[in-house]
């Protein structure tokens, strides 16, 4: 709810929530009551279904008894006709006539041979049953040797009929014929067979064949019609033994349907009326709650806008009144706290400003010191290189010349053929002069190799690698891109000294067999990578301290590279070799 929301909209929101909650509770209650009522109706319906099932089983048992009597009569005919059908002779018609008189429910009786030809038929005026259903029953009796009861079929005049058949067997149990009888489901005789099915006091009962067609019923449904109970509720059924028939019991029209319908009609008008009354009471309750809340909301909005001077006035003693008094206490405490917060904020701002000025001054001083340190370091390194050059030049121009001249004089003295004692001393002095000259030349090259000034960085690195590593049996590979790479003198000197220190560390500590040096110029940045297959080390453990100066060489490499705004990475671990990666941008205005 925004502060621009009108009082009417706020009141409407509270009232609408109250109405919604009441409506939800009422609907939930009605739903629960309806569900309980419906569950009870379903329980009663299940009880009625169980009763109908019991009635259907009772009726099915009566039909089973009648069918068993008819099948027993036909079975007696089959037993008495067995000799006649095996040996031939007269008397089959008399047996059929006796069976017809005994089984009063049968419309006719006949004896058939294996080819389904009539051997005897009584009464003689009746026609032999024919049709696909008759053929099916005859075929199954002959194949299975068991009695069969057919479904409904129509005779040649279109009248519905039923067929009962039992096998006639010889003394070896082989079927040699059929004793059969037909039933007329529309006759009074058949009504006696299904008298329980046709009893209107039990329930709407129906005797059905395997296809669900009506054989007979209490309300005289047409024979052969489908069961008329699809829209009248759940159907209970029970099978009739020794046949594919079943007795179905439908729910009476005056049953639970009427009860459920009456209940639904009452709910149809009772629920809307009750809901309207509940909403009316909810609307009144919502308005009674909304009035003090509106005043409390307005006061809260004033506090939110920063108005802490006007007190909150809520006179009621209910929950809203207690809430209003809590708001008033909060307003007083908040006003006092705001004054303290403002004072503390002002004091904190003053301290922050003072500390910021102090930090800014300290930062500027550190920057100046760092700049001075870098300039001083640059001058120290430049002075160091200049002093190296001067010492190397003096050694070359003076000491080396003097030692060379001394060696020449000693050679001349040896050529003058002195005595044997003097020759031995002269030869020894000449050797000392040659060794001294070699040592001075080595010292001169260490101070400042002339190849760096004469042939450039690449040649100096190749010379230094051969001198420091090749002499120790380490295979060195140098790759340069582009091959004619030339760098500014100061940058070339810094990179040479850095690589010289790296190769010195490899020679002293790495115990490597192969070293790869790659130098390339990519987009104005010189990239140098040195990788060896030595024993490696832990870079974090090699740091100079007051008591241990290990790592000064690595620190010197880093400082020389950082003077040209470059970076150095040492990637190594014990047993996995070492990789040194240097990146230095070319100074502005220089060309490689």
**Residue stretches of the chain with pLDDT short of 50:** 1-5, 7, 10-11, 230-233, 253-254, 549
137: Cβ–Cβ under 8 A, 6 or more apart, which residues? 148, 149, 150, 163, 165, 180
What's residue 414's pLDDT?
A: 66
CATH code: domain 14-249 is 3.30.450.20
Distances from the Cα of 252 to the Cα of 40, 54, 58, 224, 467, angstroms: 19, 15, 18, 22, 119
What's residue 423's pLDDT?
A: 67
What's residue 559's pLDDT?
A: 79
Helix (H) or strand (E) holding 482: none
Domain limits, CATH 3.30.450.20, in the chain:
14-249
What's residue 379's pLDDT?
A: 59
How far apart, in whole angstroms, are the C-alpha atoms of residue 211 and residue 151?
Answer: 8
What's residue 591's pLDDT?
A: 55
How far apart, in whole angstroms, are the C-alpha atoms of residue 521 and residue 585?
Answer: 9
State the number of CA atoms in the 13 A half-sphere of 247 facing the CB.
29
CATH code: domain 454-585 is 3.30.565.10
What's residue 254's pLDDT?
A: 47
Beta-carbon neighbour count of residue 181 at 10 Å? 26
What is the radius of gyration, based on Cα positions, of the chain?
A: 62
What's residue 1's pLDDT?
A: 42
Q: Which residues of 487-523 are buried (b: 16+ CB within 10 A; e: fewer)?
A: beebbbbbbbbbbbbbbebbbeebebeebebebebee
Domain limits, CATH 3.30.565.10, in the chain:
454-585
Q: Which residue has the tokens 């009648």?
A: 66
pLDDT digits (tens, 9 = 90+) for 285-319: 666 666 666 777 777 777 777 676 777 766 666 66
Distances from the Cα of 512 to the Cα of 531, 536, 537, 571, angstroms: 10, 9, 12, 16
User: DSSP 3-state helix, strand, coil percentages of the chain (rounded to 5)?
Assistant: 60, 15, 25
């Amino acid at each position: 709810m925004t502060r621009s929301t009108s009082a009417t909209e706020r009141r409407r929101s509270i009232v609408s929530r109250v109405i919604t909650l009441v409506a939800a509770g009422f609907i939930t209650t009605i739903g629960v009551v309806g569900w309980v009522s419906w569950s009870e109706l379903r329980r009663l319906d299940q009880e009625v279904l169980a009763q109908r099932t019991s009635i259907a089983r009772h009726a099915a048992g009566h039909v089973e008894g009648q069918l068993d009597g008819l099948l027993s009569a036909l079975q007696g005919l089959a037993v008495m006709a067995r000799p006649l059908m095996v040996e031939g002779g007269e008397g089959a018609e008399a047996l059929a006539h006796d069976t017809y008189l005994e089984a009063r429910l049968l419309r006719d009786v006949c004896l058939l041979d294996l080819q389904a030809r009539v051997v005897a038929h009584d009464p003689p005026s009746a026609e032999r049953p024919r049709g696909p259903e008759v053929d099916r029953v005859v075929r199954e009796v002959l194949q299975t040797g068991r009695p069969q009861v057919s479904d409904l079929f129509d005779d040649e005049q279109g009248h519905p009929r039923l067929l009962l058949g039992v096998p006639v067997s010889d003394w070896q149990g082989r079927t040699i014929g059929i004793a059969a009888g037909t039933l007329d489901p529309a006759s009074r005789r058949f009504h006696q067979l299904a008298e329980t099915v046709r009893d209107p006091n039990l329930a709407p009962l129906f005797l059905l064949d395997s296809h669900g067609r009506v054989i007979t019923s209490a309300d005289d449904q047409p024979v052969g019609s489908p069961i008329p109970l699809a829209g009248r509720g759940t159907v209970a059924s029970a099978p009739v033994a020794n046949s594919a028939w079943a007795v179905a019991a439908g729910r009476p029209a005056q049953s639970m349907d009427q009860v459920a319908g009456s209940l639904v009609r009452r709910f149809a008008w009772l629920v809307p009326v009750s809901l309207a009354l509940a909403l009316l009471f909810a609307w009144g309750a919502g308005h009674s709650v909304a009035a003090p809340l509106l005043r409390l909301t307005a006061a809260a909005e004033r506090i939110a806008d920063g108005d802490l001077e006007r007190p909150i006035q809520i006179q009621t003693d209910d929950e809203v009144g207690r809430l209003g008094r809590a708001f008033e206490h909060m307003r007083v405490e908040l006003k006092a706290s705001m004054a303290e917060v403002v004072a503390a904020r002002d004091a904190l701002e003053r301290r922050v400003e003072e500390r910021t000025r102090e930090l800014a001054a300290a930062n500027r001083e550190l920057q100046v010191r760092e700049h001075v340190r870098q300039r001083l370091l640059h001058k120290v390194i430049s002075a160091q290189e200049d002093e190296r050059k001067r010492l190397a030049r003096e050694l070359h121009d003076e000491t080396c010349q003097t030692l060379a001249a001394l060696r020449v004089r000693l050679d001349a003295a040896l050529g003058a053929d002195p005595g044997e004692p003097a020759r031995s001393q002269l030869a020894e002095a000449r050797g000392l002069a040659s060794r001294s000259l070699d040592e001075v030349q080595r010292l001169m090259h260490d101070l400042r190799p002339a190849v760096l000034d004469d042939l450039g960085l690449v040649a100096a690195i190749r010379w230094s690698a051969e001198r420091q590593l090749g002499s120790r049996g380490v295979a060195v590979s140098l790759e340069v891109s582009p091959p004619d790479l030339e760098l500014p003198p100061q940058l070339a000197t810094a990179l040479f000294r850095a690589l010289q220190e790296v190769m010195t560390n490899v020679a002293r500590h790495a115990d490597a067999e192969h070293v790869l040096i790659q130098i390339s110029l990519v987009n104005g940045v010189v990239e140098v990578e040195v990788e060896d297959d030595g024993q490696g080390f832990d870079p974090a453990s090699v740091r100079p301290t007051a008591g241990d100066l290990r790592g000064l060489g690595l620190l010197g490499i880093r400082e020389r590279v950082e003077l040209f705004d470059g970076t150095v990475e040492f990637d190594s671990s014990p047993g996995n070799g070492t990789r040194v990666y240097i990146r230095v941008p070319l100074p502005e205005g220089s060309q490689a």
